[in-house]
Amino acid sequence: MGSKFIGVGSYIPTQTITNLYFKDYEFLNEQGIALKQKSEFIAEKLKDITGIKERKYVETDLVTSDIGLIAAQRAIVDAQIDPETLDYIIFAHNFGDVKFGTIQSDAVPSLAARVKKNLQIKNPKCVAYDLLFGCPGWVEGVIQANAFIKAGIAKRCLIIGAETLSRVVDLHDRDSMIYADGAGAAVLEATTSEYGVIAHATESYTFEESEFIHFGKSYNNDHDPNIRYIKMFGKKIYEFALIHVPAAMKACLEKSGVSIHDIKKILIHQANEKMDEAIVYRFYKLFNMEVPEHIMPMTIGKLGNSSVATIPTLLDILRNKEIDNHRIHKGDCAIICSVGAGMNINAIVYRY
């Protein structure tokens, strides 16, 4: 018994925020001192550093559970199923519902419970819960759902990944420019075929690395130090990812029994285009190979980093043939992988 995706859906917010949106921001360092470079220059250089030209921000009247619901509804329609037949709803996020103009996170009841209610599912045996696992949360949700299915306690699961990072960023921190909003979802169903999830791997590095991404005070010392924002040590994350992610991908591939030559796509968390390219380069270097052409579809240039939503939205966009030079064909194998707060890493080998 295995599992495969039978439906995917996404919600891409309508507000497009270009890099020049940040040109008048007052960027400060950790000590609260203004950066030497002008904000306009910093904003213009962002594309060279991360590959991001623009990102999407959610509409002011929506919160994370709202956009997660929309993505879920689209995945259910795509799967052509009755929502009452779902055994699990797993909602991956990191910050709950944060209303526009507020600072408080709301995660009670869980976002998964809110989605279940709004889907009007009456079945009490449909279990709804949230998953906090950093950016790899949606991939981990798929891994958990696959485990439920293989154990025979579920036949059909809905996995949602949604985030509104624009609500939790420090506007004085230049790292705030990489973050974005979005939602993606997929329905995973039991199968006896050779298609679907073949193998998976997960690792958590916490001894020295757990604080690489954390909540911290604003760089503006005039702000309330008890109000917290998403913060990261970018250089440490970059170095960590380049060492550990390729190795985890290799271990997952070896567990699957699939040849490296049969991998047609690498669907990686859209964190930083330069970092993702370096990860894939190092992965193929482990096999003494050059990186194949058209192996890694990217959306970060236009969508930014929406944390748990990057991979499920990428799956939907790829399915809809919206990325030039990237197509998935029946029988193709892909590696789906992510890295993020925790620090957590996971990977899946999947056959379409």
H or E element, residue 112: helix 111-118
Could you tell me the pLDDT band of residue 32, with boundaries at 50, 70 and 90?
A: confident
Q: How does strand 263-268 pair with strand 333-340?
A: parallel
Per-residue pLDDT at 43: 84
H or E element, residue 181: strand 181-191
Could you tell me the pLDDT band of residue 39, with boundaries at 50, 70 and 90?
A: confident
Dihedrals phi, psi of 155, to nearest 5 degrees: -115, -25
Q: How far apart (Å, rounded) are the C-alpha atoms in residues 326 and 266?
A: 11
Q: What percentage of the chain has pLDDT greater than the value 90?
A: 87
Could you tell me the pLDDT band of residue 23, with boundaries at 50, 70 and 90?
A: confident
pLDDT tens-digit readout, 3-15? 999 999 999 999 9
Asked if omega into 109 is within 30° of 0 (cis), the reply is yes
Could you tell me the pLDDT band of residue 103, with boundaries at 50, 70 and 90?
A: confident
Do the Cβ atoms of 168 and 55 come closer than 8 Å? Answer: no
pLDDT tens-digit readout, 179-235? 999 999 999 999 999 999 999 999 999 999 999 999 999 999 988 888 899 999 989
Q: Which long-range contacts (CB under 8 A, 24 or more apart) does 20-28 make?
A: 20/44, 22/176, 22/177, 25/171, 25/172, 26/172, 26/220, 27/172, 27/173, 27/174, 27/219, 28/172, 28/173, 28/219, 28/220
- Which two structure tokens, joined as six digits, stand for 251? 């271990």
Sequence-distant (≥ 6) Cβ neighbours of residue 92 within 8 angstroms: 130, 131, 132, 133, 137, 138, 140, 141, 159, 160, 161, 162, 308
- Which two structure tokens, joined as six digits, stand for 39? 């904000």
Could you tell me the pLDDT band of residue 100, with boundaries at 50, 70 and 90?
A: very high
How would you classify residue 55: left for phi > 0, otherwise alpha for psi between -120 and 50, otherwise beta?
Answer: beta
When mean pLDDT is compared across 23-32, 48-57, 246-255, 288-297, the lowest value belongs to 23-32
pLDDT tens-digit readout, 220-243? 998 888 889 999 998 999 999 999
Kindly state the average pLDDT of the residues 291-307: 96
Could you tell me the pLDDT band of residue 94, with boundaries at 50, 70 and 90?
A: very high
Could you tell me the pLDDT band of residue 66, with boundaries at 50, 70 and 90?
A: very high
Could you tell me the pLDDT band of residue 285, with boundaries at 50, 70 and 90?
A: very high
- Which two structure tokens, joined as six digits, stand for 342? 């925790």
Domain at 198-351, CATH homologous superfamily: Thiolase/Chalcone synthase (3.40.47.10)
Per-residue pLDDT at 339: 97
Q: How far is CA 31 from the centre of its chain?
A: 30
Kindly state the average pLDDT of the residues 82-99: 97
Per-residue pLDDT at 222: 87
Could you tell me the pLDDT band of residue 122, with boundaries at 50, 70 and 90?
A: very high
Whether the predicted pLDDT of 24 surpasses 90: no
CATH number of 2-194: 3.40.47.10
- Look at the alpha carbons of 62, 268, 197, 213 in this order and tell me if their dihedral is positive or negative: negative
Per-residue pLDDT at 226: 87
Could you tell me the pLDDT band of residue 41, with boundaries at 50, 70 and 90?
A: confident
pLDDT tens-digit readout, 240-256? 999 999 999 999 999 99
Per-residue pLDDT at 53: 94
Per-residue pLDDT at 331: 92
Strand partners, 204: 344
Considering the entire predicted model, what is its pTM?
A: 0.94
Output the average pLDDT for the chain: 95
The 10 Å Cβ neighbour count of residue 285 is 12
Higher-confidence residue of 44 and 76: namely 76
Indicate the angle between helix axes 111-118 and 64-79, nearest 10 degrees.
50
Kindly state the average pLDDT of the residues 278-283: 97
Residue count (the chain): 352
Q: Where in the sequence of the chain do the CATH 3.40.47.10 domains occur?
A: 2-194, 198-351
The 10 Å Cβ neighbour count of residue 173 is 21
Q: What percentage of the chain has pLDDT greater than the value 70?
A: 100
